[in-house]
Amino acid sequence: MNYIIPVFIDVIVPILILLGIGLILQRKFQFRLRPIANLVTYCFMPAAVFINIYYAEIDLQLVFQLLLYLSLFITILIILSNILSRLLKLGNGEAAALKNSISLMNSGNYGLPVSQLVFSSNPLGVSVQIIVLVVQNLLTFTYGLYNLISASKSIIELLRDLIKLPIIHALILAVIFKIFEAPIPTPLLVPVEQLAGGFPALALILLGAQLESIKIRSFHKVIPWSLFGRLITGPVVALILIFTLGMEGVIAQSLFIASAFPTSRNTATLALEYDVEPELHAQIVLYSTLLSSITVTLVIFLSMQLF
């Protein structure tokens, strides 16, 4: 239980502060949010994903060991969220919010700090989280983006947008540079690093600005299902898979903790960019982030007891 206060202070509080800054600034200045969302999606976000993948110190043996687990974990969550959206008879936009909120986790500015705190004396735990982060980046800008675009556009328009999207180019370039271990000239690397460094703050400020116009009185029926799927079902599925696959020690701890992270803030950013239920996505991110201060710390405690 010693992890509860540090996790809340070092991870949750900074996120809430940035959300609050965005909310206060939007209330005072009433920014046009669409251009800011474009800036995040087409500039800051690709840089952040590129840098995350380019700098990740990943052991190939560890990657192969985790591949089966991650494939099963993601597949199960996608299937469950699709079944749930059909049972609830949701519209396209609402279904996209539910599917993405359950399947996509905040493994970046939330997951890495938590892992670095918990596994400060064991770098293997952080390495596992980096692999999860890379997989989540790929999932967000393939499956997650497909859910959003297909909710409002045809298949042809979807393919065109996917091909043109800078994040896809950034992922491909990062993988190429990583495979060939190609160095990047400093004049090019420095601005990319600076853009990547600004992404978490700008994305959270943007999310806070989105939240300013949200009437919390309207509690959509999708929200409790999203929260249950992301914060409860995710760790339960992870625990079952970990025991089934016989994983132990730090790897099991890290995977179990990673399964409990709240919904990715990128879901709200992309939803605003493509105008697919942006307020619903933003509310889900807000509530899941707030409640995760309880669920994540509980999962951390359980992981230390079980493994």
Structure tokens at 14: 């900074």
Q: Model confidence at 152, in pLDDT bands (50, 70, 90)?
A: low
Q: Would you state the pLDDT for residue 76?
A: 96
Query: What span, in angstroms and rounded, lies between the C-alpha atoms of 132 and 119?
Result: 15
Q: Would you state the pLDDT for residue 37?
A: 86
pLDDT greater than 90 at residue 171: no
| Amino acid at the residue 137 | N
pLDDT above 90 as % of the chain: 33
Q: Would you state the pLDDT for residue 262?
A: 92
- Please, which residues have CB within 8 angstroms of residue 208's CB and are 6 or more apart in sequence? 18, 19, 20, 21, 22, 23, 24, 25, 26
Query: What span, in angstroms and rounded, lies between the C-alpha atoms of 176 and 170?
Result: 10
Query: What span, in angstroms and rounded, lies between the C-alpha atoms of 110 and 19?
Result: 13
Query: Angle 234-245/249-258 helices, nearest 10 degrees?
Result: 160
pLDDT digits (tens, 9 = 90+) for 229-272: 999 999 999 999 999 998 888 899 999 999 999 999 888 888 88
Please tell me which residue, 224 or 113, carries the higher pLDDT value: 224
Give this prediction's pTM. Answer: 0.81
pLDDT digits (tens, 9 = 90+) for 190-222: 999 999 888 888 988 988 888 887 666 667 889
Query: What is the per-residue DSSP string for 238-290?
Result: HHHHHHHHT--HHHHHHHHHHTT--B-HHHHHHHHHHTSSHHHHHHHHHHHHH
Task: Tell me the average pLDDT of the chain.
Answer: 86
Query: Angle 111-118/249-258 helices, nearest 10 degrees?
Result: 150
How many other CB atoms sit within 10 Å of the CB of residue 35? Answer: 9
Overall fold of domain 4-306: Na+/H+ antiporter like fold (1.20.1530)
Query: What span, in angstroms and rounded, lies between the C-alpha atoms of 73 and 82?
Result: 14
Answer yes or no: are the C-beta atoms of 102 and 147 closer than 8 Å. Answer: no
Q: Would you state the pLDDT for residue 151?
A: 61
Answer yes or no: are the C-beta atoms of 256 and 245 closer than 8 Å. Answer: no
Q: Would you state the pLDDT for residue 123?
A: 76
pLDDT digits (tens, 9 = 90+) for 108-150: 778 877 887 788 777 778 778 878 888 888 888 888 888 888 7
